[in-house]
Amino acid sequence: MKLKILLPARILVDQEVQKVIAEGADGSFCLLPRHIDFVSALVPGILSFEQSSGEETFVAIDEGILVKVGQEVLVSTRNAVRGGRLGELKRMVQERFETRDENEKAARSALARIEAGFVNRFLEIQGRR
């Protein structure tokens, strides 16, 4: 099967695989090459796949959609992190969340300064009339 994991700005995975294991709202499921065509909403969690060499790879994903059509499996998600081992993946996810938390704090702080500046300017304009 051909697995593609699509993010908004790039393709994270595009390779031949023997097996895909993912988690939907109703639980975990496994796709093999002769599986019927299939669609599932994915919940945040771990998607794993077995490469043609037999090596298992893990991807932490945000919620998304999985579509299997013929020999192609497409996964579309907003965020995903690929790691070889679960321990490595856990570390990568923690780092990404810490970075995102810092960026969100900085963005909220900048927005608060913009709002305060807007209110101050508005009050200045009202005072001049």
- Both 29 and 54 in one domain: the answer is yes
Q: How far apart are CA 13 and CA 59, in angstroms?
A: 9
Using pLDDT thresholds of 50, 70 and 90, give the confidence band for residue 84.
low
Q: Residue 101 is inside which H or E element, if any?
A: helix 86-128
- Both 23 and 72 in one domain: the answer is yes
**21-35, 53-67, 70-84, 85-99: range with lowest mean pLDDT:** 85-99
The residue range of the domain holding 106 is 85-129
> Where is pLDDT greater, at 39 or 93?
39
Q: What is the pTM of this model?
A: 0.69
Q: How far apart are CA 21 and CA 72, in angstroms?
A: 14
The predicted structure's pLDDT at residue 101: 62
- Both 65 and 91 in one domain: the answer is no
- Both 12 and 45 in one domain: the answer is yes
- Both 50 and 73 in one domain: the answer is yes
